Chain A
Amino acid sequence: MFESLSEKLDRSFKILKGQGKITEINVSETLKEVRKALLDADVSYKIAKQFTDEVKERALGQNVLTAISPGQLMIKIVHDNLTELMGGEHTDINIKGDPAIILIAGLQGSGKTTFSAKLANYLKQKKGKRPLLVAGDVYRPAAINQLQVLGNTIDVEVYTEEGSMEPVKIARNSINHAKANGYNVVIVDTAGRLAIDEQMMDEISSIKEALKPQETLFVVDAMTGQDAVNTAKAFHDRLNFEGVVLTKLDGDTRGGAALTIKAVVSKPIKFVGIGEKIDALDVFYPKRMADRILGMGDIVSLVEKAQEQFDEQEARKLQKKIAKDQFNFNDFLAQIKQIKKMGNVKDLMSMIPGMGKAIKNLDIDDDAFKHVEAIIYSMTPSERDNPKIINGSRRKRIALGSGTDIQEVNRLIKQFDETRRMMKMMTTSGGKGMMKMMQNMQGAKR
């Protein structure tokens, strides 16, 4: 996500490398680069300045005390400050209350409706809640429809009032509806509005007053520029929101908005949107994000993601099979499915330390496994069960059937054999095995 910024910081730190100690002169050159990188990343002008001033102070104060290289020291100082700026520890969403009420607010096009549906899905799937979605955007054409379609796909009821132009009333009625029907979380989507639109800001204040929500979440586009600060502040002044949602972080934006918003409104970023799929929602971890900015990778989220999709029983079965040398193409296919469930391959790869830069210009897409799957699907059931029987003529047939060529089939079978051998050798947990295999698969693709 933040590759570009970490690259820039990387480069600016190189200026420091090879220098004996941090002096006013060499630090100011580096900080100029850091500041430019932050501004290029859309960090607010004032925050960027404040940030570099703080870093400078810390750097100059510490240089005589430590023996490590100035570059390392600077990385640590910038990293610590970055983490601090982005919000310290992770704060969970408050869903206490019966029903718990969550109000969604933000500018036009920031992704409120998509986020509302993702949040409902998250609370339903991961927190075991019974959410109700409320269509409070009565202005934008087809906004209600949009929420209904999304609600349908995740099987969550959407409360609407046909023809009503009174969002405050709709919101109030929806709570009664939730109480009567046993919903324990109510998520109220609202129309996008500009912070300077008095009438619309009055409206959302009234909704908040009427609902007294546990959480008001401010949804903001990660690509937002310098205006993020103004808008966040204006919404905060009116709504005193509890948290921020950063959307469209799957783009290549450097996401400076993430660095500043917390600093300006002192509220945590609670979720990030990372794709158009309904489960493309993640909680925000400031420290990990700082790691990421500095190119230290995000191995923790990768492991967590793997664990989430990981079925222990299946894994035990698989382990037995591997031990008995019975691992076959059906199992291989099941593994691919599991990896795909974890999300976008490029995203996953970028979380591995050191990979961020390596894959930046690599074309890895969601269809990375398409050819592999096509080849396996072109095998007969007995070939999948017992790969040993796949001889030359069978390979030819498989290549034809899958629209690939014989070399590609050969490569896959070779890769499969290697994977099988490797898996047998491994005594580590299934999660790690999957990662290892994923790396192998990528090798096969290239």
Chain B
Amino acid sequence: MGLFDFFSKKKKEQLNEGLEMTKKSVFSKITKAIAGKSKVDDEVLDNLEEILVTSDVGVTTTLKIIERIEARVARDKYLGADELNSILKEEIAALLSENDSDSISGFDFPKMEVPYVIMVVGVNGVGKTTTIGKLAYQFKMAGKSVLLGAADTFRAAAVDQLTIWSERVDVPLISQGMGADPASVAYDTLKSAVANKADVVIIDTAGRLHNKINLMNELTKIKNVMKKIIPEAPQEILLILDASTGQNAIEQAKQFTAATEVNALALTKLDGTAKGGVVIGISDQFKIPVKYIGIGEKKEDLQLFDKFEFVDSLFSQE
């Protein structure tokens, strides 16, 4: 499968639309920074620092990127401004991790022996339930049988919200209502998935701040309970990050990974003005790939993340 197969023309337009704000602001600044200059000097690097920091890339990662560029400038002496874009793309893309070979890389994947279980985690309000609805839709469109588990039994009307999504994209849902034990819901969902030979199971969990130890322990328990039914489950633990979140996302990634061994990221709300630059540092530091991006509220507004497309959309000149 080619790199750009996921992006049909329509999807590409959607992505570009979603990233338009990011691109406009970043690119206009870069252009301004290098206008009338034939080589990368301190002023350009200063401007670059501003661009990256204001994109939420963070000071540490920004310095890392700048160091790499400076090293190249030192090596290639008279680096033209035109080359800056391609170098930036390369350097940033190099920081973004690849999917590991164990996890699926698209919505259409070969039939597996056991259901592929995705456990969705994240802080409050990042868009977990909405992302699940959109994921379910994509898997269903790819001809997979999908089962949802409503293990957010805490937030008011969370089960209702997932129920509406399950009806909207026409996939079944296992629920024990509000206030039920989330681990028990996950257990039931997997049991039913095995019995019905489902291809994909997606487990919703309640939003929780990563510094609440009890709630993080609960998450570990939900994860462990699933192994009683399917030893390798959950094959994917998907941490949802809101693109508008700043440097705290790093702490989120750290704590959720400690509690549940997160192995995939989804970046939501990329259709706004937020740039989501913090994922670059996260992906680099924790070696977790970004797998999906959310670019709207409709069921089709979810795409597979492709780092070259992503970086390209950030810096491409149109």
Question: What residues of chain A have their CB less than 8 Å away from a CB belonging to chain B?
Answer: 36, 39-42, 44-45, 107-111, 113, 139-143, 145-150, 153, 194-196, 221, 223-228, 230-231, 234, 248, 250-254, 256-257, 276, 363, 365-367
Chain A residues whose C-beta falls within 8 Å of the C-beta of B157 in the assembled complex: 142-143, 145-146, 148-149
Please tell me if the beta carbons of A226 and B53 are within 8 angstroms of each other in the complex.
yes
Please tell me if the beta carbons of A111 and B54 are within 8 angstroms of each other in the complex.
no
Please tell me if the beta carbons of A36 and B273 are within 8 angstroms of each other in the complex.
no
Most buried by B among A140, A153, A363: A140
Please tell me if the beta carbons of B156 and A194 are within 8 angstroms of each other in the complex.
no
Chain A residues whose C-beta falls within 8 Å of the C-beta of B297 in the assembled complex: 108, 139-140
CA distance A276 to B152 in the complex (A): 14
B275 interface hit (Cβ, 8 Å): yes
Main secondary structure on A side of the interface with B: loop
CA distance A257 to B242 in the complex (A): 15
In the complex, residue of chain B having the shortest beta-carbon distance to the beta carbon of A153: B156
Contact of A40 among B59, B124, B243 (CB under 8 A): B59
Main secondary structure on B side of the interface with A: loop
Please tell me if the beta carbons of B214 and A366 are within 8 angstroms of each other in the complex.
yes
CA distance A375 to B27 in the complex (A): 64
Besides the contacts A113-B156, A224-B245, what 16 more A-B pairs have beta carbons closer than 8 Å?
A: A42-B248, A44-B54, A111-B124, A141-B164, A143-B157, A146-B161, A149-B157, A195-B272, A227-B244, A231-B273, A248-B123, A248-B124, A251-B123, A256-B246, A276-B155, A363-B213
Most buried by A among B53, B125, B154: B125
Please tell me if the beta carbons of B56 and A140 are within 8 angstroms of each other in the complex.
no
A and B contact pairs by CB, cutoff 8 A, 11 listed: A39-B53, A39-B58, A109-B242, A141-B133, A196-B273, A223-B249, A226-B53, A231-B272, A252-B248, A253-B251, A254-B247
Question: What residues of chain B have their CB less than 8 Å away from a CB belonging to chain A?
Answer: 21, 50, 53-56, 58-59, 123-127, 133, 154-158, 160-161, 163-165, 168, 178, 209-214, 242-249, 251, 269, 271-275, 278, 297
In the complex, residue of chain A having the shortest beta-carbon distance to the beta carbon of B55: A226
**Min distance, Cβ A293 to any Cβ of chain B, angstroms:** 16
Please tell me if the beta carbons of B213 and A365 are within 8 angstroms of each other in the complex.
yes
Chain B residues whose C-beta falls within 8 Å of the C-beta of A40 in the assembled complex: 58-59, 247
**Min distance, Cβ A379 to any Cβ of chain B, angstroms:** 26
Contact of A45 among B50, B126, B158, B209 (CB under 8 A): B50
**Min distance, Cβ B267 to any Cβ of chain A, angstroms:** 13
CA distance A417 to B153 in the complex (A): 42
CA distance A110 to B165 in the complex (A): 21
Please tell me if the beta carbons of B53 and A252 are within 8 angstroms of each other in the complex.
no
Most buried by B among A221, A228, A248, A367: A221
Please tell me if the beta carbons of A252 and B273 are within 8 angstroms of each other in the complex.
no
Chain B residues whose C-beta falls within 8 Å of the C-beta of A107 in the assembled complex: 244, 269, 272
Please tell me if the beta carbons of B271 and A194 are within 8 angstroms of each other in the complex.
yes
**Min distance, Cβ B212 to any Cβ of chain A, angstroms:** 8
Please tell me if the beta carbons of B156 and A146 are within 8 angstroms of each other in the complex.
yes
Please tell me if the beta carbons of A108 and B168 are within 8 angstroms of each other in the complex.
no
CA distance A231 to B178 in the complex (A): 34
Please tell me if the beta carbons of B127 and A109 are within 8 angstroms of each other in the complex.
yes
CA distance A283 to B259 in the complex (A): 33
In the complex, residue of chain A having the shortest beta-carbon distance to the beta carbon of B20: A196
Please tell me if the beta carbons of B247 and A41 are within 8 angstroms of each other in the complex.
yes
CA distance A253 to B209 in the complex (A): 10
Question: With A109-B242, A194-B272, A227-B244 given, is the CB distance from A142 to B160 under 8 Å?
Answer: yes
CA distance A149 to B155 in the complex (A): 10
Query: Which A-B residue pairs are the 4 nearest by beta carbons?
Result: A225-B246, A109-B125, A42-B246, A141-B164
CA distance A251 to B210 in the complex (A): 7
Chain B residues whose C-beta falls within 8 Å of the C-beta of A146 in the assembled complex: 155-158, 160-161
Please tell me if the beta carbons of A231 and B156 are within 8 angstroms of each other in the complex.
no
Chain B residues whose C-beta falls within 8 Å of the C-beta of A257 in the assembled complex: 246
**Min distance, Cβ B169 to any Cβ of chain A, angstroms:** 11
Please tell me if the beta carbons of B247 and A149 are within 8 angstroms of each other in the complex.
no
Question: With A226-B53, A248-B123 given, is the CB distance from A231 to B248 under 8 Å?
Answer: no
CA distance A246 to B54 in the complex (A): 21
In the complex, residue of chain B having the shortest beta-carbon distance to the beta carbon of A363: B213
**Min distance, Cβ B120 to any Cβ of chain A, angstroms:** 14
**Min distance, Cβ A275 to any Cβ of chain B, angstroms:** 9
Chain A residues whose C-beta falls within 8 Å of the C-beta of B209 in the assembled complex: 248, 250-252
Chain B residues whose C-beta falls within 8 Å of the C-beta of A141 in the assembled complex: 133, 160-161, 164-165, 168
Most buried by B among A45, A257, A366: A45
CA distance A257 to B158 in the complex (A): 28
Contact of A227 among B59, B211, B247, B273 (CB under 8 A): B273
Chain A residues whose C-beta falls within 8 Å of the C-beta of B269 in the assembled complex: 107-109, 194
**Min distance, Cβ A312 to any Cβ of chain B, angstroms:** 33
Question: With A39-B59, A141-B161 given, is the CB distance from A221 to B210 under 8 Å?
Answer: no
CA distance A406 to B132 in the complex (A): 49
CA distance A110 to B207 in the complex (A): 12
Please tell me if the beta carbons of A36 and B125 are within 8 angstroms of each other in the complex.
no
Chain B residues whose C-beta falls within 8 Å of the C-beta of A367 in the assembled complex: 214
CA distance A251 to B207 in the complex (A): 12
CA distance A143 to B85 in the complex (A): 43
